[in-house]
Amino acid sequence: MADNAKANRYALVTGATSGFGFEFSKLLAKDGYNLVLVARDEQRLMQITDDLTQTFMIETIPIAKDLFSPTAAEEIYTETKAKGIDIEILINDAGQGQHGNFIEYDIARDVDMIQLNITSLVALTKFYLNDMVARDSGKILQIASILGEYPTPYMSVYAATKAFVISFSAGLQNELKDTKVTVTTLLPGASDTDFFHKAGAEHTVTYREEKLSKPEDVAKDGYDALMKGESKITSGLKNKAYTAMTAVLPEGAKAASMEKQMQPSEKEKGRERITHGPSIEERERIDLKTGRENGDYNEHEDHVHKNENEGL
């Protein structure tokens, strides 16, 4: 049951249909916050909206938007303003990676990652932070990655986007020091989500051989830090050790270390699939939509190409 003190408070979560985003949504709902949930799969989004509304007796508003689109962030903000909703908590969770030699896959995938991981995140932060500062109240959680601290061969663009998130958020924290608005950065490590599936990285040493963090544990670490107004949190003891080493290792050594993790695994009986239920469902829906066994789809790009083919 919603806490009366939070009855009129709203939190917005991107990437809400699987992985960390799904777990953040549950934590917020359990704590009595009304939710604005953003994801691109409208059918899945409606299912989660109904489940959270009925389970936690809160208001849950779905906004089906594809954050690969340059206009999506402003459209989300415009829709919430039109509904008279003030966002007290913003969780910028949506993000993707791509495994592969930089020169061998399509530049469109890099542009998409930059749009999703950086541009849409910055835009949502800009829109909602203005309102938060105006009322001197609000919290933002930015989802980065421990790879943001490490140059990562074969995921070089993804790691660089997360380095941007870390630096961007640290700069904002200083700008906001005289306000009651906080920005928290969460650095997860490899986790039991559909990330590796979308990135085409299920053959790597990291996915096949390493222990993956539970999304619910990572989300709880980030949520607790957010509520305390902490500036930065690394989830998991092993990941804390990795980030601690960034202060002493030269860039070349860090890149060499990560290169080994991104190589194809030679282990015959390594991990073959994730276990996090909502992420499995998202993975299966993507496979069905694309007809492929790995990778992602981009509805915005598909729509553009469709229009181009039709001469529109």
In the chain the domains, ranked by start, together with CATH numbers, are 4-309 (3.40.50.720)
Question: What secondary structure letter does DSSP report for 70?
Answer: T
The active-site residue, picked from 158, 223, 242, 297, is 158
Q: What was the pLDDT predicted at 288? A: 82
Contact (CB, 8 A) for 71 and 303? no
Strand order through the sheet with 138-143: 60-64, 34-39, 10-14, 87-92, 138-143, 181-187, 232-234
Residues shown for the chain: 312
242 is catalytic: no
Q: What was the pLDDT predicted at 53? A: 96
3-state per-residue secondary structure call for 300-311: HHHHHHHHHHCC
Q: How far apart are CA 116 and CA 46, in angstroms?
A: 22
Structure tokens at 139: 């919290």
Q: What was the pLDDT predicted at 176? A: 98
Q: What was the pLDDT predicted at 298? A: 67
Q: What was the pLDDT predicted at 15? A: 97
Low-confidence stretches of the chain (pLDDT beneath 50): 1-2, 4, 301-312
Q: What was the pLDDT predicted at 246? A: 79
Side chain identity at residue 35, one-letter code: L
